[in-house]
Each structure stands twice: as structure tokens, then as C-alpha cells.
A and B are shown apart, each in its own frame.
Chain A
Amino acid sequence: MRELTYKDALHEALDQIMAEDDRVFLLGEDIGVYGGAFGVTGDLQEKYGKDRVVDTPISEAAITGACVGAALTGMHPVGEIMFSDFVTLSMEQLVLQASRIRFMFGGKATVPMVLRLPGGSGTGASGQHSGSYESWFIHVPGLKVVMPSTPYDAKGLLLAAIEDPNPVMFFEHKLLYRTKGPVPEEMYTIPIGKSQVVREGKDLTIIATSVMVMRSLEAAQKLAEEGIEVEIIDPRTLNPLDMEPIIASIIKTGKALVVHEAVKTGGFGAEVAGRIVESEAFAYLDAPIRRLAGLDMPIPYNRNLEYHAVPQVENIVEESRKIVQGVY
């Protein structure tokens, strides 16, 4: 199959859906003339015009609020928050409006919007441009939270998110934009709320999100050389979370490690661990569930400190080894 970068897969998804469905339009800072801070929107303004690829003022609240309003009228807006950190300015629109409207109008009004949220560290962008905020939104009923880790998933999930009648928080990772993978040319969707086993193994179940899927796969190769076979599951959608493959995997391996870049405290890992112990997998656990996550601190500017603030391949190797060897 043809290979595309994660960035180009997203671009293709937007291009294809815009060509087909004129309810879809884009809003964001520098997404038009400039083509997006990370180049995702690229030539789309040239192709579809300024009405459908709208350069907005620097106001995340305005972008989000406009998305909510447009979605209520039947449009399918796709907003971009240039750095997901600034979604902090969109909170009221998302939490009190976008997520609530369908509930509070008894299903008579829907908010079919997507907010694209480039996030994550590793680019030297320091404490206000490097965060991972997905956990905040899994706590809001009414919002769906999607976090693709491959170009294939990025395209399929973005198209599914645009189709979805609910507001979808679409977390991209800046380090993933350059990664390549097979992507079908035609339009396709990947169902929201389906976890995927990305590597099979018998010794340990790793539940990883976003860039941590890539790092876990690399760690798995090193562990395999030591005879440790880890199974890796990418939930892809954080809410609604598909636990089925995770539970089945832990019943097989008896051990679980959750890896994410966002800080550990109150993070997605805690939710996964909680659901595991509530499930039938509990009786199969032969070690404490461990979480490997970002340190409880903002991402530092210093590149060495930045590197150590979030899980890296060697940390995943070490932690996996310890769990399998029964150190915990």
C-alpha cells in the first residue's frame, strides 16, 4: 500500500471530505494562507476558498465558539487549536456548551464538530506549547476523545470524527506528523470507540496512546531480544473507551502497564487501571498494574530535561522488564 506521513494523511482526509461534503469547513489560526503551523491544512484554502478554510483571529474561544454555533446550524466544522495547550481558553465553550447541548435539548440539537489539537512534547517548545491534555476531556460526558497514533488511524479516525454527530476532541502529536505508514487512497473510517491490538505477546499487556504506541513498539523489539513478549494495545479512542481487548489481553498476560505522555496524576492511566480492576481481568492480575507517564511537572525548555520529563523507549523497556521479572 502507498505510504503517507501522518500529516499528509490528515490533509488527505480533510481534502477528500471537503470535496464531498460542503457542510465541512475549517477554522483556525494560520491554517489558510500559511497552511497551518504544522502544515496539515496546506493548500486547502487555495483549493476550497477563504469561506471554507477560515483564518481566525488569535482567539481559541472564538474558534471553538464559532464551531459550536456552526455545528448547531447543521455544519460540520473542523477547528484547529494550533497548540493544544491553548484549548484551555476554549473550556467554557467545550465543557458547558458543546458537550451539554445534546443532553440538555433531549437529543433535538447536536454539535457535530471536531477540534483538532496538536499536542505533546519533544520539540523544545517549553511549558506552554508542549502539554498533553486529553485526560481533561475524558472527564466531560458528551465529548468524544480520539488520539490516533498512525497515519492510517489518523485518516480513518478524522473522517469518522467529522461524520460523528457529537463534538470530538481530536488529539494529534507533533512528533507523529513526520512518521510514515500505509494509508489507503480512498476514503474510509475507523470506528470511534474501538481499541486495537497492535502487537501480540504473552508476558505483559502495554496500553499506550499516541506517540507512546510507537515508543512501546520499539521497546517491545528490545524486550523480545531478552525473551519478553509484550502485547501492545492502542485504545485510539480514549472516550468512549473499548476495554474488551484490554481485558482479554490481561486475562492472558496477568500483567498490565499503561503508558502515556500526559502527567500521571489524574491521568488516562488511572482510568484504565481502575477499569481493569473493576473487570473480570482483576482475578488474573499477577502483579500490580503500573503506570508510566509524564512527570507531574510542566514540560521543561531544556532539551535534556524535556527528554526525561516523559516516557522514552528505555523507560518502557526498564519498566516492562521489572514488571515481568516480578520486581513489583
Chain B
Amino acid sequence: MAKEVIMPKFGFTQEESEIIEWLKKEGETVEKGDPIATVSTDKLSMEVEAPERGILAGIRYKEGDVVLVTKIIATILQPGEVLPKKNAEPETQKIEKDEPSKPEKGIEVSATPVALHMLKDAGIDATTVQGSGAGGKITKADVKAYLSQKSTDRHGGKVAATPAARRAADEIDIDLTSIAGSGPLGRIQEKDVKAAASHIVQAIPPTIPAEAPRIPLKGMRRIIAEKMTCSAHEIPHLTLQMDIDMSDAVALREQVARQVTGKDIKFTYTALITQAAARALTRHPKLNSSLDGDEIVLLPCVHIGVAVAVEEGLMVPVVRDADKKGVYQLSNEIATLAVKARTNKLIPQDLEGATFTISNLGMYGIDRFTAIINPPQTGILAVGNIVEKFMPDAKRNPILKPIMTITLSADHRVVDGAEAAEFLQDIKTGLENAGATTV
């Protein structure tokens, strides 16, 4: 009669064994007492003996499988017998099919049965748990550690916390997901909230005198606060910097100044940079775009917002079709807009429709800085001071050059580093060959 071979229980507390090696193959004849497989508990390796003479058949587990004790691992058949159908398939595989923790797409996760059970109960994806057992096998202890650590992630993002902890969190206005729980299974206790709150309190300036002046966050200040907070939170900012040799630009400006002395014609670096950026934008349309839901909208016109500091904050009047205008015209337009901004005479149309922003703090002696994108735009260019620096010439001799650093902040959802770099390169080329600029 067919005799089942079960995974033996070697120790009182032993729940499972790993099959290390099958010493006999299916179809081989075995004597009663012959070792047919080596298995290991967490402590030692043992041999499973054939329970009687016969032919080894119906091996259910492969080497490396962890099997619960008393599970059937193979069958010994007598000559002429066939394997009973029910003995054909390993039982644990059926169980594992239901496991939510069982990863798809062939990623093998190895875990002890107890650990698998715990993972299933807790609804945890086994691939997220680090195993500490042999070959990275996830053990009971690993799951326990994971659970106590990740209290906040369980149950669909719900936080395990006592009512007292929730009340305390509410009173202090602290987010429970930011707190580690010290209770059973990582549950947040009232004392955890209080401890977390004491850290927060420490971060606040200790005392604010009652007579300290307070400026209400209203009007432009509030709009700037909201827009910048939104941008900083939502837009993954990619920032790139580039040094630009402004020798040509400086020479051009001096030349213009000599030629047009006395006339009321302006020529500003801001205008020159605006023109270079605007033209570069026509060649790099993704920087002149707007992210709209799932689509990047390439904008047909290049309207440059130029940041102007005013008493209450900042205004960004818009130079329309900046790519199509000469430097004189841009200089005059920007100057006019700046005056209007400072005297509070801008009309709504002056502030609408920018597709890209330039912020120049060079005149304040700032060498370089990063700016925050003004949504829904994709990029903002932060322009620093022109500084004389010693640079190596062709013969590696130091010569003084006027150097300006520009910093681009771009929406990484729309553009990547290489594209942004090419755009900066384009501006650099334009400014370093300013002699060819249409003035």
C-alpha cells in the first residue's frame, strides 16, 4: 500500500523544516530506514527516512522549500501501485496562491509559513519586508519588526493609535502619521504624541514678545505665499547652474553707450538676457510649456515675466513675444514695466500670460541663487551679478573676465536634466556671442 512520507517534527517547538537535498530520486527503490532527504530546522540538519520499503514517488517539494511539520512530502509506492491523485500536488502551493503577499511577475519571495500567515493577516506585500533568515527568508521576527515599525502604513494608511493618543494629537494639532508608536504592534500611545509634540515645541522660537510687530499675511503677500507653497510642494524642482562669460555682452553695452550718448536709449543686461532666453525658448519648446493634467502643452508664444521687487513684495510684469524683439525695445519695455510696477500703475494685462520668468538679482550683488517656479510655467531663470574673475585663457594664463552665473529651475515632471542643460547652453551661446545680437 502507498505510504506517505511526512515532514517529521524533531523538536517540541519546531514548526517547519527546509528541504536541503533529496537523497533519492523519484522512481528509485528504497529500503525501510533509508535516508531519502536531508532537511534542516533552524538549528540542525536531519535526515528523513523511508517509512518502508518501496519506490519513492510523488515528491511534492523541491530543495529549498520550507515545509510545515507533518505535511506529506513524498509517497512510497509498492510495485504496480500508482500515485493517488490527491498526492500529486504540494499543499502549500495552493495556500500560496491566495497570498496577497505573493509577488507577481515572478519575483521570488521566500518566507516561513508563519511569516506568510502574519503577512497575509496584516495585508502586507512580502516584497516590502526585509528577510533576515537564511537566503533572505522572511521570518516571524522580521514581520513583527516590520509591523511595529510600520504601524502607520497598515490597514490602508489608517493609523493605529489609542483614543487618548488621537485626542492628544488633535489638541496639539500634530499629524499622527508623523509619529512612531511605542505600543503593541506599533500602536501610537498618548505619551508618543506628547513626546513628538515636545520636539515640535523645541523647534519654535522660545518667546515672542507681545509688542513684536505683526504683519498680516494678506493681499499680494498671501498670494505669493500660497503660490510659492503650492509650487514648492507640488513641483519637483530641477536646478542647473551655468557660468557665462559676459565679455561680449559688456563690450556690446559699452559700444552702444558710446554710440548713443545723450540719447534716451537704454540697453540693459536684463534685456539682453531676456532676449537670449526668449530665443532659446523657441528652440527648446518644452521649457516654454505648461503642464495641464496628463498633458504638456507647448505654448505658441514666448512671453517673459520679469520679476520686479516692489515695496510689498514682488511683481512680475510680462514682456510679450520677447523672442521677436530687439534689445533696445526690450530694455525700454522692461524699464517702463518696472516703473509702472514700482508706482503701482500696472494694469492686469501687464501681468498676464507669462510663459517663462526671469529674475535678476545681479544689481543687488547676488552672485547666484535658485528661484521657485511660478506655476503653471515650467521654468524660471535666476540671474546673478556679473563678477570679474580670473579665468584661464587658451595658453592657461589667467585673465580677468566678467562672469555671470545663471540658475535654471525647471519642472522635472516636464523636462529632464539634459534638456534643461541644452537650453542653458543655448542661452550661454547667445550671450557669449552678443556681438551678433540684434540690438
**Are A and B genuine complex partners?**
yes
Query: Which residues of B sit under 8 angstroms from A85, Cβ to Cβ?
Result: none
Is B411 at the interface (CB under 8 A from chain A)?
no
Q: Which of the segments B45-53, B182-190, B235-243, B365-373 contacts the partner chain?
A: B182-190
- Which of B164, B166, B189 has its CB near the most chain A CB atoms (within 10 A)? B164
Residue A61 CB within 8 A of the other chain? no
Measured between beta carbons, the chain B residues less than 8 angstroms from A286 are 162-165, 189-191
B191 neighbours in A (Cβ, 8 Å): 286
B167 beta carbon closer than 8 Å to chain A: yes
Taking CB atoms and an 8 Å cut-off, the chain B residues in 161-201 that contact chain A are 162-167, 182-184, 189-191
Taking CB atoms, residues of chain B closer than 8 Å to A326 are: 182-184, 189
Q: Which of A253-284 contact B (CB under 8 A)?
A: 254, 282-284
Chain A nearest CB from B225 CB (Å) reads 34
Q: Which of B166, B183, B189 contacts A283 (CB 8 A)?
A: B166
How many pairs of A and B residues are in contact by the CB < 8 Å rule? 30
Q: Are B167 and A284 in contact (CB under 8 A)?
A: yes
Instruction: Return chain A residues, CB-CB under 8 Å to B163.
Output: 282-286
Complex: A51 Cα to B162 Cα, angstroms: 60
* Docked pose: A254 CA to B163 CA in angstroms: 9
* A287 surroundings in chain B (CB, below 8 A): 162, 183, 189
Which of B164, B166, B182, B184 contacts A254 (CB under 8 A)? B164
Q: Indicate whether A328 reaches chain B with its CB closer than 8 angstroms.
A: yes
A305 close to B (CB within 8 Å):
no
Q: Which residue from chain B places its CB closest to the CB of A328 in the assembled complex?
A: B184
Convert B127-165 into 0s and 1s, putting 1 for each residue whose CB lies closer than 8 angstroms to a CB of A: 000000000000000000000000000000000001111
* Cβ contact of B164, chosen from A283, A327, A328, cutoff 8 A: A283
Taking the nearest CB of chain A, how far is it from the CB of B191, in angstroms? 8
- A300: min CB distance to chain B, Å: 28
Residue pair B164, A285 in contact (C-beta under 8 Å): yes
| Residues of chain B within 8 A of A254, CB atoms compared | 162, 164, 190
Nearest neighbor of A281 in chain B, beta-carbon distance: B163
> What residues of chain A lie closer than 8 Å to B182, measured between beta carbons?
326
Q: Which residues of chain B have C-beta atoms less than 8 A from A328's C-beta?
A: 184
Across-interface contacts of A285 in B (CB, < 8 A): 162-164
Per-position contact with A for B217-256: 1 when CB-CB < 8 Å, else 0?
0000000000000000000000000000000000000000
Q: How far is the CA of A249 from the CA of B184 in the complex (A)?
A: 24
Closest A residue to B182 using CB positions: A326
What string of 1s and 0s marks CB contacts (under 8 Å) between A150-186 and chain B? 0000000000000000000000000000000000000
Number of residues in B with C-beta < 8 Å to the partner?
Answer: 12
Shortest CB–CB separation between residue B132 and chain A, in angstroms?
24
User: Are A284 and B184 within 8 A (Cβ)?
Assistant: no
Q: How far, in whole Å, are A283 and B169 apart by their CA atoms in the complex? A: 11
**Interface core residue of B162, B167, B182, B190 (most chain A CB under 10 Å):** B162
Complex: A328 Cα to B184 Cα, angstroms: 6
A285 to B182, CA, bound (A): 15
A328 to B162, CA, bound (A): 11
Chain B residues, Cβ within 8 Å of A327: 184
* Beta-carbon nearest neighbor of A326 in chain B: B183
User: What is the bound-complex CA distance between A52 and B177, given in angstroms?
Assistant: 70
Name B167's closest neighbour in chain A (CB-CB). Answer: A283
Chain A positions 269-328 with a Cβ under 8 Å from a chain B Cβ: 282-287, 326-328
Interface of chain B residues 26 through 80 with chain A (CB within 8 A): none
Q: How far does the alpha carbon of A301 sit from the alpha carbon of B164 in the complex, in Å?
A: 44
Q: Which residue of A lies closest to B189 (CB)?
A: A286
Bound CA–CA A52/B162 (angstroms): 57
B189 pairs with A284, CB closer than 8 A:
no
A283 CB, nearest partner CB in chain B, Å: 4
Bound form: Cα–Cα A237–B166 in Å: 33
Q: How far is the CA of A286 from the CA of B163 in the complex (A)?
A: 6
List, in ascending order, chain B residues with CB within 8 A of A282's CB. Answer: 163
**Bound: A285/B168 CA distance, A:** 11
Across-interface contacts of B183 in A (CB, < 8 A): 287, 326
Q: Chain A 29-45, CB within 8 Å of chain B: the 1/0 string?
A: 00000000000000000
Chain B residue at smallest Cβ distance from A283: B167
Closest chain A residue, CB of each to CB of B190: A286
CA distance A287 to B184 in the complex (A): 10
CA distance A260 to B162 in the complex (A): 25
Shortest Cβ distance from residue A250 to the other chain B in the assembled complex, whole angstroms: 10
Residues from chain A with a CB closer than 8 A to the CB of B166 are 283
Complex Cα distance, B190 from A57, in Å, reads 60
A328 to B183, CA, bound (A): 8
CB distance from A298 to the nearest CB of B (A): 32
Within 8 A of A (CB), among B85-125: none
Give bound CA distance, A282 to B164, whole Å: 8
Chain A minimum-CB-distance residue to B161? A286
Give Cα distance in the complex from A180 to B179, angstroms.
52
Q: Name the distance in Å between A196's Cβ and chain B's nearest Cβ.
A: 25
**Bound complex: CA of A327 vs CA of B165, how far in Å?**
16
Q: What B residues does A283 contact at CB under 8 A? A: 163-164, 166-167
Q: How far is the CB of B189 from chain A (nearest CB, A)?
A: 6
What is the chain A residue whose CB lies nearest that of B191?
A286
CB proximity of A5 to chain B, nearest CB, Å:
42
A284 to B163, CA, bound (A): 6
Residues of A within 8 A of B162 (CB): 254, 285-287
Minimum Cβ distance to chain B for residue A4 (Å): 43
For B165, the chain A residues whose CB sits under 8 A away are: 286
* Complex alpha-carbon distance, A85 and B268, angstroms: 103
Closest beta carbon of chain B to A105's beta carbon, Å:
44
Question: In the bound complex, how far is the Cα of B162 from the Cα of A282, in angstroms?
Answer: 9
* Bound CA span A116–B167, Å: 45
Q: Tell me the smallest distance from the CB of A161 to a CB of chain B, in Å.
A: 37
Nearest CB in chain B to that of A254: its residue: B164
A253 to B80, CA, bound (A): 74
Report which A residues bind B (CB closer than 8 A).
254, 282-287, 326-328
Interface residues of B (CB under 8 A from A): 162-167, 182-184, 189-191
CB-CB nearest 8 A-B residue pairs = A286-B164, A283-B167, A285-B163, A286-B162, A286-B190, A254-B164, A283-B163, A284-B164
Task: Name 11 interchain pairs, CB-CB below 8 A, sorted by A.
Answer: A254-B190, A284-B164, A284-B167, A285-B163, A285-B164, A286-B165, A287-B162, A326-B184, A326-B189, A327-B184, A328-B184
Q: Apart from A286-B162, A286-B163, list 10 A-B contacts with CB within 8 A.
A: A254-B164, A284-B164, A284-B167, A285-B163, A285-B164, A286-B165, A286-B189, A286-B190, A286-B191, A327-B184
